Structure 1
Amino acid sequence: MRTLYFDCFSGISGDMVIGALIDAGADPLQMEEELKKLNIDEEYSLSWGKVVKNGITSTKFDVILTNKSEQPHEHSHSHGHEHSHSHGHEHSHSHETEPKHSHAPHDHHGSRTYKQIVEAINEANLNESVTNMSLGIFKKIGEAEGHIHGLPLDKVHFHEVGAVDSIIDIIGAAILIDQLGIESVQSSAIPTGSGHIHIDHGVYPVPAPATLEILKGVPIASNVIRSELATPTGAAIAAVLAGKFGMLPAMTVESIGYGAGTKTFENHPNVLRIIIGEIQ
């Protein structure tokens, strides 16, 4: 059985998942084409390229929003120097262009409701497995946000999590996993980090309430790093897709991918490693 293992020794985020999948040999150009079915490609361009994180060559993936005012807080790094590594792959739309109105409904802050996201996925005519994976991950995040804010699922508004880049991260990851013919997913325990982060509602402990809610029932690894290692998007991808959490299973390894995170840590590479192989 063709299995993908998330080795989350430095946490997990949506962009790290996509970077690692590309690094393991998935085709980002095919993903870019599939994502156009969502009819929001005027709102972003994609960038990917090699970076070195503490001695490990890895792939950094970024979603660059065309309207800078829609930039969510946690992705303020998007206009960084790392795009010089993208080897000309930024071919959606230049982020200097004036964005036209997107076909998908959203308000002027770039946030979308859970209901709007579900409609966009259902109307996009993606592969059935891509649709199911994407809906499952969004439902997990939507339920967590709803639980914390005391809202029913159809009233949940996605702000940082629902901005364009997270829609791309989640659906893009589903497209690449489907493309690689993955039949089962396993994961290590998820380190969440420690300390505090600033989000829309103020200063919160790490893991943020939504991330912790998403990781109910999932083994969490202790980690002394004072930083947010698992984002809600990354946590939801692992929580929904992984059928089993634990050590690396006995497998014949076929490919390995390293996806770079944004932050750099002093003592270890901030990358997500994925290992793909056959389990007998």
Structure 2
Amino acid sequence: MTGPLLYVDCFSGIAGDMMLGALLELGVPRDDLEGALRRIDLPAWRLVTERVQRMTLAGTAVRFEAVDHDHHHHDHDHDHDHEPVEHHVHHHGLSPADIDARIRAAALPPPVEARATAIFAALAEAEARVHGTTVAEVHFHEVGAIDSILDIVGVAYGLWKLGIDRVESAPPPISRGFVRTAHGRMPLPTPATLDLLRGVPLTPCALPRELVTPTGAAILRVSADRYGDFPAMVASAIGWGAGRADLADRPNLLRLVLGHADATAPDCHVVEANIDDMSPELAGWLMEALFAAG
């Protein structure tokens, strides 16, 4: 592997807006990002970024606002209602097919289109599974869907723009408690989030707040190649994406570490042996000979 490596240090969880804020800090050009997102057929919006502090650490908070001010797009943060999804045949939302078609019609770079549509497909399939319905019957409320489209396509664009070759992630923290959804109170982690994290190592967290959103889980599902501790790497840049809420026991930030795998990092080997049939006087000579040989 020779391309850039990205490590997702999600000690406070992950949401689409946090990922996007951290990618902007890593150097994704804002003008290029906005230009790509404006190719998508969506109601008028503006991108608002703000440098904020969470427990004395600084990060970038991102949100999308409607230009006409009739309503504001829903903020994906860690103090929000669950990303709204409805499962009715008669609806006022966007279906997965609607969203897929809008992304494909935007003439985005092929890797961006492929990742973004895969993330939305994973999200829709998880929602369908946990609610016992079909993907065709899953519909996202329009306002939440617009934010999700911008977050997800923005993340896909950022990963492509930085030339990311591989994504690795810390085990995401899974909290307990309840969150409000379109279906009433749901346990944390929400059913769709946990479904998306099947097969992923998880870290328990006692904080009674949604830390990993379905969008964040879907991004990891499609993008992460490995979960675990920091890989052997040479870090070249660090980006911090901020959630909207203040958490009680940790800074509400997502840390992205960009770099390259360290091919020079030595493997450590331990060789052990029990020697009970040699004169102890020879041990000193043997150690000197071994050290001299490297």
TM-score, structure 2 as length reference: 0.80
Distance, in Å, in 1 between the alignment partners of 2:172 and 2:208 is 15
1:262-273 aligned at under 5 Å gives the runs 262-273=244-255
TM-superposed deviation, 1:64: 1.3
Distance, in Å, in 2 between the alignment partners of 1:76 and 1:51 is 15
Q: Does 1:174 align with 2:156?
A: yes
Aligned to 1:124: 106
Q: Does 1:48 align with 2:49?
A: yes
More displaced, 2-11 or 65-74? 65-74
TM-superposed deviation, 1:185: 0.6
Aligned to 2:287: none
1:10-29 aligned at under 5 Å gives the runs 10-29=12-31
Aligned in 2, Cα 1:243/1:255: closer, same or farther, shift over 3 Å?
A: same
TM-superposed deviation, 1:267: 2.6
Moved over 6 A (4+): 75-78
Q: Secondary structure at the match of 1:38?
A: coil
TM-superposed deviation, 1:160: 7.8
More displaced, 225-234 or 214-223? 214-223
Aligned to 1:96: none
Distance, in Å, in 1 between the alignment partners of 2:148 and 2:254 is 17
1:36-67 CA distance string (max 9 Å, x none): 1112151x211012111101110001111346
Aligned to 1:81: none
TM-superposed deviation, 1:123: 1.1
1:95-244 aligned at under 5 Å gives the runs 109=92, 111-159=93-141, 163-244=145-226
Q: Secondary structure at the match of 2:207?
A: coil
Distance, in Å, in 1 between the alignment partners of 2:257 and 2:126 is 28
TM-superposed deviation, 1:159: 2.9
Distance, in Å, in 1 between the alignment partners of 2:77 and 2:237 is 29
Distance, in Å, in 1 between the alignment partners of 2:60 and 2:176 is 25
Aligned-partner residue type, residue 147 of structure 1: R
2:16–2:76 CA contact under 8 A, matched in 1: no
Root-mean-square deviation (CA, aligned residues, Å) is: 2.2
Aligned to 2:65: 64
Aligned to 2:11: 9
Distance, in Å, in 2 between the alignment partners of 1:257 and 1:68 is 33
Aligned-partner residue type, residue 276 of structure 1: L
1:53–1:264 CA contact under 8 A, matched in 2: yes
Aligned to 1:257: 239
Q: Which one has the largest radius of gyration? A: 2
2:73–2:143 CA contact under 8 A, matched in 1: no
1:12–1:272 CA contact under 8 A, matched in 2: yes
Aligned to 1:98: none
Q: Percent of pairs identical after alignment?
A: 37
Aligned length: 250
Q: Secondary structure at the match of 1:163?
A: helix
Structure 2 gaps of 5+ residues are 81-89, 264-294
Aligned-partner residue type, residue 123 of structure 1: A
1:113-171 CA distance string (max 9 Å, x none): 00001111111110010011101100110100111222222332123895211110000
